[in-house]
Amino acid sequence: MYTELLKLCGFEPDEIKRERPRVDRAFAKLGLDEEDFRRGEWRLKEYLDIELLGLRKFLGIWMRELVNLVLAREEHDKIVYSDFPMELRPLMSMMLSTDEKEVYFGVPGQIINMTMGQIFDKITPYIEVGEESGMPPGAAHCALYQTRLGAMVKGVIPFPDLSVIASYHCDQPAEAEELLHEVYGVPVAYLDSCSDPNWGDWPKFNDSRVRYCSSQASRMFRMFEEIIGCQMTEEAIRTANRSNAIFRLTFQALIELIGHADPQPISQASLAHAFFLNSMPTRDIEGKQQALEILAEEVKQRVERGEGILEKGAPGVFCTATISVDPSITRMIERTGLAIRIQIPNWLSPWVLTKHPYREWSDMIGVGPCLDIPHSCEAHCLINLENCKAFNVDGAINFYPYSCREWVPTVIITKRMIEKELGIPVLVLEGDCYDTRNYSAGQLRTRVETFAELVKAHKAAKAA
Amino acid sequence: MRVNIKNTITAGVDVGAATAKTVIVTDGKILSHAVIPTGDSVARAAEKVTAAALEEAGLSMPDLGFVISTGYGRNGVAFANKAVTEIICHAKGVNFLIPAARTVIDIGGQDSKVIGVREDGNVSDFVMNDKCAAGTGRFLEVMADVLGLDIEEMGPVSLTSKEPCLISSTCTIFAETEMVSLRAEGRTREDLVAGIHRAVASRVAVMGRTVGYREQVVFTGGVAKNIGVKNALESGIGLPILIPEEPQIIGALGAALLARNELS
ipTM for the predicted complex comes to: 0.83
Nearest chain A residue to B115 by CA distance is A450
CB contact under 8 A, B122 and A443: no
For chain A, state the CA radius of gyration.
Answer: 21
Contact list, B125 vs chain A (CB under 8 Å): 425, 454
pLDDT band of A195, cuts 50, 70, 90: low
Comparing C-alpha atoms, which of B197, B200, B209 is closest to residue B238? B209
Residue A409 has pLDDT above 80, yes or no: yes
Task: Answer positive or negative: Cα dihedral of B78, A42, A403, B174.
Answer: positive
Interhelix angle A328-335/A268-275, rounded to 10 degrees, is: 150
| CA–CA dist A395, A425 (Å, integer) | 5
Give the DSSP per-residue string, A298-365.
HHHHHHHHT--SS-TT--EEEE----TT-SHHHHHHHHTT-EEEE-TTS---HHHHHT-TTHHHHHHH
The answer to whether residue B122 neighbours chain A at the CB level (below 8 Å) is yes
Q: From residue A23, give the alpha-carbon distance in Å to each of A15, A33, A123.
A: 11, 12, 19
How near does any CA of chain B get to the CA of A454, in Å? 7
Characterise B11 by phi-psi region: left (phi > 0), alpha (psi -120 to 50), beta (else). beta
In order of A148, A208, A452, the CA distances from B252 in angstroms are 47, 61, 20
User: Does A443 sit within 8 Å of B131, measured CB to CB?
Assistant: yes
Please count the residues of chain A. Answer: 464
Task: For residue A359, name the pLDDT band (cuts at 50, 70, 90).
Answer: low
Higher pLDDT, A363 or B7: B7
B131 and A430: CB-CB below 8 Å? yes
Q: Give the Å distances, CA to CA, from B263 to A457, B60, B65, B258.
A: 19, 18, 7, 9
Distance from the Cα of A460 to chain B's closest Cα (Å) equals: 13
The answer to whether B201 touches B235, Cβ cutoff 8 Å, is yes
Provide long-range contacts, Cβ within 8 A and 24+ apart, for A23-28: A23/A67, A25/A70, A25/A71, A25/A74, A26/A66, A26/A67, A26/A70, A26/A71, A27/A2
Q: Are B46 and B71 in contact (CB under 8 A)?
A: no
Amino acid at A451: F
A449 touches chain B (CB under 8 A): yes
**pLDDT tops 80 at residue A91:** yes
| Identity of the highest mean pLDDT range in A10-24, A163-177, A187-201 | A10-24
Rounded distance between C-alpha atoms, residue A82 and residue A90, angstroms: 11
CA distance A436 to B214: 36
Read off the pLDDT of each residue in B27-37 and give the average, rounded to a whole number: 93
Burial class, B27, CB count within 10 angstroms (exposed 0-12 / middle 13-18 / buried 19+): exposed
Out of A412, A446, A453, the one facing B210 most closely (by C-beta) is: A412
Measured CA angle at B261 (ends B260, B264), to 5 deg = 95
Residues 177-206 on B with a CB inside 8 Å of A are none
Q: pLDDT tens digits for A16-28?
A: 999 999 999 999 9
Identify residue A46 by its one-letter amino acid code. E
Q: Contact B88/A412, CB-based, under 8 Å?
A: no
Q: Model confidence over A371-407: pLDDT tens digits?
A: 444 677 888 888 889 889 989 999 999 999 887 877 8
Helix, strand or coil, per DSSP, at residue B125: strand
Are B122 and A454 in contact (CB < 8 Å)?
yes
Q: Which of A83-92, B158-167, B202-211 has the lowest mean pLDDT?
A: A83-92
Range of weakest confidence among B35-39, B41-45, B146-150: B146-150
Distance CA A328, CA B144 (A): 38
Name the pLDDT band for B149 (thresholds 50, 70, 90). confident
The residue length of chain B stands at 264
Residue A369 has pLDDT above 60, yes or no: no
In what helix (H) or strand (E) does residue A111 lie, and over which residues does it extend? helix A108-112
Could you say which of A412, A443, A453 has the minimum Cβ distance to residue B130?
A443
Suggest the residue from B128, B129, B174, B258 to mutate for an interface test with chain A (most A CBs closer than 10 A): B128
Mutate to test the interface with A, among B85, B112, B262 (most CBs of A within 10 A): B85
Average pLDDT of the residues in A327-340: 95
The radius of gyration of chain B from alpha carbons, rounded to an integer in Å, stands at 19
Q: Are A63 and A6 in contact (CB under 8 A)?
A: yes
Min Cα separation B118/chain A (Å): 11
With 0.90 as the threshold, say if the pTM is over it.
no
- Name the phi and psi angles at A414, rounded to 5: -65, -45
CA distance A121 to A227: 36
pLDDT digits (tens, 9 = 90+) for B122-136: 999 999 987 777 778
Three-state SS at B7:
coil
Bigger pLDDT: A379 or A422? A422
What's the pLDDT at A335?
96
- pLDDT of A356 over the 50 cut: no
Chain B residue numbers with beta carbons less than 8 Å from the beta carbon of A418 are none
Residue A187's CB: how many other CB atoms inside 10 A?
18
Report d(CA A74, CA B22) in Å as an integer. 64
Whether A76 and A101 have beta carbons less than 8 Å apart is answered as yes
Residue pair B34/B56 in contact (Cβ under 8 Å)? The answer is yes
Q: Name the percent of chain A lying above pLDDT 70.
A: 92
Contact call for A428 and B127, based on CB within 8 A: yes
Higher pLDDT, A189 or A368: A189
Please determine, for residue A360, whether its predicted confidence score (pLDDT) is greater than 70: no
Distance CA A266, CA A308 (A): 6
B65 pLDDT above the threshold of 90: yes
* Inter-chain touch A447–B72, beta carbons under 8 Å: no
Residue B194, amino acid: A
Query: Which phi-psi region, left, alpha or beta, contains residue A398 (left: φ > 0; alpha: ψ -120 to 50)?
Result: beta
Cβ distance of A446 and B87 shorter than 8 Å: yes
Confidence category of residue A408, pLDDT binned at 50, 70, 90: confident
- CA separation for the pair B167, B165 (Å, rounded): 6
C-beta of residue A119 within 8 angstroms of C-beta of residue A43: yes
Most confident of A34-43, A191-200, A313-322, B149-158: A34-43
pLDDT at B2: 65
Can you give the pLDDT at residue B46?
A: 96
Average pLDDT, chain B: 90
Using a CB–CB cutoff of 8 Å, tell me whether B133 touches chain A: no
- Is A301 touching B (CB cutoff 8 A)? no
Contact pairs from chain A to chain B, CB under 8 Å: 33
> Which candidate from A443, A450, A457 shows the least CB-CB separation from B85?
A450
A188 CB neighbour count, 10 Å cutoff: 21
Q: How far apart are CA B129 and CA B110, in angstroms?
A: 9
Do B93 and B254 form a contact (C-beta atoms < 8 A)? yes
Checking B129-133 for CB contacts under 8 A at 24+ apart, the result is B129/B203, B129/B204, B129/B207, B130/A443, B130/A446, B131/A430, B131/A443, B132/B170, B132/B171, B132/B172, B133/B172
If residue B103 lies in a helix (H) or strand (E), which one and from where to where?
Answer: strand B103-107
Q: What is the per-residue pLDDT for B133?
A: 72
The average confidence (pLDDT) of chain A is 89
Which residues are A400's β-sheet partners? A430
Residue-level pLDDT at A271: 95
What are the pLDDT digits (tens) for A47-68?
Answer: 999 999 999 999 999 999 999 9
- Among A352, A338, A346, A287, smallest CA distance to A308 is for A338
- pLDDT on residue A346: 52
Taking alpha carbons only, the member of B100, B176, B164, B170 closest to residue B134 is: B170
Distance (Å, whole) CA A104 – CA A87: 18
Residue-level pLDDT at B1: 65
What are A264-275's pLDDT values in tens digits? 999 999 999 998
- Contact yes or no for A420/A450 (Cβ under 8 A): no
